[in-house]
């Protein structure tokens, strides 16, 4: 079974040294971009917030 990829909205600029990726304010971070502990910490201190769910073509939430 494949783990569901979570999406988060970026509230404060963040970067990943290992991948060289930069995530600007208003962008999207997924659960594949950083370790779970890092994302949990950032949700707690306001660097990220859960992204609003998108509607899929078939009408379901993503």
Partner 1 sequence: MAETPSGKDKLLRYARVFVGGYNISGDFRTFGNFANSFEAADMGGVGEELVHYLSDGHRIVGISGFRCLMNDNTNRSMDLLDTADALTEVSVLFGGGGEPAIPDPCYFLPAAQMKAITSFDGGAGVVEADFLYDTLSYANAASNPAGVVLANADLTATADLGSHGVAALTTAGWHANLHVTATAAGNYAMIIEHGTDDAGWATLGTFVSTAGAVGSEYLTGTGTVNKFVRFAVTKTAGTATVIVAFARN
Structure tokens at 7: 């999406």
Comparison of 25 and 62: residue with beta carbon closer to partner 1 = 25
Out of 5, 6, 13, 30, name the contact with partner 1 by CB under 8 A: 13
18 binds partner 1 (CB under 8 A): yes
- Build a one-symbol-per-residue string for 38-57: x at contacts with partner 1 by CB under 8 A, - elsewhere: x--xx-xx-x----------
Radius of gyration for the alpha carbons in the chain, expressed in angstroms and rounded: 12
Comparison of 22 and 53: residue with beta carbon closer to partner 1 = 22
> Measuring CA to CA, how many Å separate 49 from each of 2, 16, 19, 33, 57?
23, 17, 21, 15, 24
């Amino acid at each position: 079974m494949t783990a569901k990829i979570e999406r988060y909205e970026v509230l404060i600029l963040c970067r990943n040294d290992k991948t060289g990726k930069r995530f600007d304010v208003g962008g999207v971070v997924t659960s594949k971009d950083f370790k779970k502990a890092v994302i949990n910490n950032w949700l707690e201190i306001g660097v990220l917030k859960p992204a609003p769910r998108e509607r899929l073509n078939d009408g379901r939430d993503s």
